[in-house]
Structure formats: structure tokens, C-alpha cells
């Protein structure tokens, strides 16, 4: 699994997944740099959703579902880009940097995320995202 896929799947499994989602046609022409920016925006939305729904697991699931739905085309484009060895290497390097930058924000929201780990609605969101990333 590539680093970007691992990051996205890991975040999904932890319910860490509306920022500016885009349509399927727009996403098809996105460069690797544009995809990375969309993923960064998505990650910021995840942090915001988790912080806004610290005590509301169903609200968190609804917000995460919207983020996943809004960013399906971006995820599909990332998968396409990873077929190119150079683009894959670049995305891996950049996503590692992104995670280092986002680390403190992600760590700060883990309590609320863990509180909701058994929420059925959130589990369904995770399943939806995992299916998308296959």
C-alpha cells in the first residue's frame, strides 16, 4: 500500500476523514500538486469536524460521511496518479511532510475520535471509505 493510501485508510479507520470537494470531471485533470492540496484541505476538515463534534458521535459520523462523499473524486484521482512511479514517489514524500505538519492537530483530537470508535454510523462511514480506496 502506498503512503498516501495508508494515510487515508488509517485516518478513515480512526474516523479521521467538506473541504472544497470537486466533481469527477474536474478531478480527472488535477495535477499531483492539486490533489495534495485537496487532501490537505480534506484533512483540515476532518480535524474541524472532530473538534466540533467532541461529544456527538452521530454528528461526527454525518460530518465525516459528507467529507468522504465530497472528496470521492479526489481519492480516485490520487489512486490514478499512484500508477505513475514518479508521481507516487512525490505523493509519498509530500504526504509524509503533511502528516508531520498535521501531527499536533491530529493528536489533539484523538480523545474525541476514540470516544466514537464504536459508533455504528461512523463504522459505516469507514466501510464506505475503505470500499472507495480498494
Question: What is the domain partition of the chain in residue ranges?
Answer: 31-132
Q: How far apart are CA 11 and CA 102, in angstroms?
A: 12
Q: What is the pLDDT of residue 22?
A: 52
The answer to whether 99 touches 39, Cβ cutoff 8 Å, is no
Q: What is the pLDDT of residue 121?
A: 93
Sign of the four-CA dihedral 108, 42, 80, 133: positive
pLDDT in tens, 116-126: 889 999 889 88
User: 9 near 1, Cβ under 8 Å?
Assistant: yes
CA gap 55, 78 in Å, rounded: 32
Q: Distance between CA 45 and CA 20 in Å, rounded?
A: 9
Query: Which has more confidence, 60 or 1?
Result: 60
pLDDT tens-digit map of 38-86: 888 888 888 888 888 888 999 999 998 999 888 888 888 888 888 999 9
Distance CA 30, CA 134 (A): 20
Identify which of 66, 2, 77 has the alpha carbon closest to the alpha carbon of residue 38: 77
Give pLDDT, residue 5. Answer: 47
pLDDT in tens, 99-120: 888 878 777 677 777 888 899 9
Contact between residue 71 and residue 38 where contact means Cβ atoms under 8 Å apart: yes
Amino acid at each position: 500500500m502506498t503512503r498516501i493510501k495508508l494515510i487515508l485508510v488509517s485516518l478513515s479507520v480512526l474516523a479521521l476523514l467538506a473541504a472544497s470537494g470537486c466533481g469527477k470531471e474536474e478531478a480527472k485533470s488535477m495535477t499531483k500538486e492539486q490533489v495534495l492540496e485537496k487532501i490537505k484541505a480534506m484533512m483540515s476538515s476532518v480535524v474541524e469536524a472532530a473538534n466540533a463534534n467532541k461529544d456527538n458521535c452521530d454528528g461526527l459520523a454525518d460530518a465525516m460521511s459528507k467529507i468522504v462523499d465530497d472528496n470521492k473524486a479526489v481519492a480516485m484521482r490520487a489512486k490514478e496518479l499512484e500508477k505513475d512511479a514518479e508521481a507516487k514517489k512525490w505523493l509519498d514524500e509530500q504526504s509524509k511532510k503533511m502528516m508531520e505538519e498535521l501531527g499536533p492537530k491530529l493528536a489533539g483530537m484523538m480523545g474525541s475520535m476514540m470516544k466514537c470508535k464504536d459508533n455504528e454510523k461512523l463504522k459505516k462511514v469507514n466501510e464506505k471509505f475503505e470500499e472507495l480506496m480498494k
